[in-house]
Amino acid sequence: MKKYLLLLTAIIAVAGQCFAQLNKRDLPVVYLPDNVSVHFVSPGPIRFVDISVKDISGDLPVPNVLRIHVRDSLRRFNDAVVTITGEKFIAQYRVVPCRDDRDGTVQTEIAIEPSDCRPLDNPEIGLSQLELKANALRLLAIRPGNPIEDAKAFGMQGYLYHIYTLGDYIFLDIGFHNKTKLPYAIDQLHFSIEDKKVTKASTVQSVVVTPLFILQDIPAFDKYYRNIFVFKKLTFPGNKVFSIGLSEKQLSGRILTLKANYQDLLRADVLPK
């Protein structure tokens, strides 16, 4: 609830600035037919939507697409203002009703352009998904070099190439080399904090850690795999390790585990600009 109130406060503050600069007639116009849905496509996830009239219905079929349509074709409205808020922007459009799009001339896909947006200072959002992707791509462009940690098993080799930090984020550059002739279908790539030493008498403790961002969706690979994973900064005691586990879908079940010590994280470099 607190996060929602902070976001709403930021939206109201920026929206007030927008209205001080723009009247409704100055907003970009979008035509909405009775028989067709219109889709707004955002460059990143949409966080908040406001539609000024109840005659228009809207939903988010996917995180970065707003779909609107007329709720009841028998009821008419003059116009409406649709406000779309992303992680770092706010955009407003004037929606005007029109007759059925029988000739197919109405634009049904609206790309939210930078010229339509105003910056939004949201304290709950650090780096946006677009910013995380841009930084991950920069890291992927860096030559791997000698790995910080490596492991091998079942004809597979795993590498932790780089650990970089940026603000409150940790970027892990991870690669795998399949030296066999069998393609590797990934079941899962999981991350956890585990005990460094496990004895028969001790209870194994494992805490799953979920990435905030994964650069590429790679379901399988023949020879080489490399990807960037982003986490919120984390700490753990010296008797724990950060475990990176790769497991295979097939019955052969080849499993490879990389382990990074806390010292590896402490020695992480700042992501170069």
Determine the pLDDT at residue 8: 46
Six token digits for residue 263: 């010292």
Least confident of 11-20, 52-61, 244-253: 11-20
65 versus 261: the higher-pLDDT residue is 65
161 within 8 A of 148, measured Cβ to Cβ? yes
| Collapsed DSSP state (helix, strand, coil) of residue 138 | helix
Angstrom distance (rounded) from CA 102 to CA 35: 9
Among 59, 61, 69, 50, smallest CA distance to 108 is for 69
Task: Give residue 180's pLDDT band: very low, low, confident or very high (50, 70, 90).
Answer: very high
When pLDDT is averaged across residues 191-218 and rounded to a whole number, the result is: 82
Determine the pLDDT at residue 19: 43
Specify the length of the chain in residues: 273
- Cα 79 to Cα 55, 74, 167: the distances in Å are 10, 15, 43
Multiple choice CATH, 131-270, 3.20.20, 3.30.70, 3.40.50, 2.60.40: 2.60.40
**Cross-strand pairs, 39:** 67, 109
174 within 8 A of 221, measured Cβ to Cβ? no
Angstrom distance (rounded) from CA 223 to CA 160: 17
Determine the pLDDT at residue 136: 95
The answer for residues whose C-beta is within 8 angstroms of residue 64's C-beta and 6 or more apart is: 41, 42, 43, 44, 45, 46
Determine the pLDDT at residue 18: 44
Task: Give residue 16's pLDDT band: very low, low, confident or very high (50, 70, 90).
Answer: very low
Q: Which tens digit of pLDDT belongs to each residue from 107-120?
A: 999 999 988 889 88
Q: What is the CATH number of domain 2-125?
A: 2.60.40
Q: If you average pLDDT over each of 77-81, 118-122, 174-178, 262-266, which comes out highest?
A: 174-178
The residue with tokens 């932790």 is: 160
Angstrom distance (rounded) from CA 124 to CA 129: 13
Q: Which helix (H) or strand (E) holds 264?
A: helix 262-266
Given a cut of 90, is residue 7 above it in pLDDT? no
When pLDDT is averaged across residues 153-162 and rounded to a whole number, the result is: 94
When pLDDT is averaged across residues 243-253 and rounded to a whole number, the result is: 86
Determine the pLDDT at residue 200: 60
The answer for residues whose C-beta is within 8 angstroms of residue 33's C-beta and 6 or more apart is: 70, 97, 98, 99, 100, 101, 106
Residues above pLDDT 90, as percent of the chain: 53
Determine the pLDDT at residue 271: 85
Six token digits for residue 195: 């005990």
When pLDDT is averaged across residues 228-240 and rounded to a whole number, the result is: 86
- Residues of the chain within CATH 2.60.40 domain(s) are 2-125, 131-270
21 versus 265: the higher-pLDDT residue is 265
Angstrom distance (rounded) from CA 69 to CA 73: 10
Q: Which tens digit of pLDDT belongs to each residue from 86-97?
A: 988 899 999 999
Strand locations in the chain (E)? 29-33, 38-41, 46-51, 56-62, 65-70, 80-86, 89-98, 109-111, 117-119, 149-153, 156-166, 169-178, 184-195, 206-209, 213-214, 220-221, 224-232, 240-248, 255-260, 269-270
**Averaged pLDDT of the chain:** 85
Determine the pLDDT at residue 135: 94
Q: DSSP string of 151-196?
A: EEETTEEEEEEEEEEETTEEEEEEEEEE-SSS-EEEEEEEEEEEES
264 versus 59: the higher-pLDDT residue is 59
Determine the pLDDT at residue 206: 82
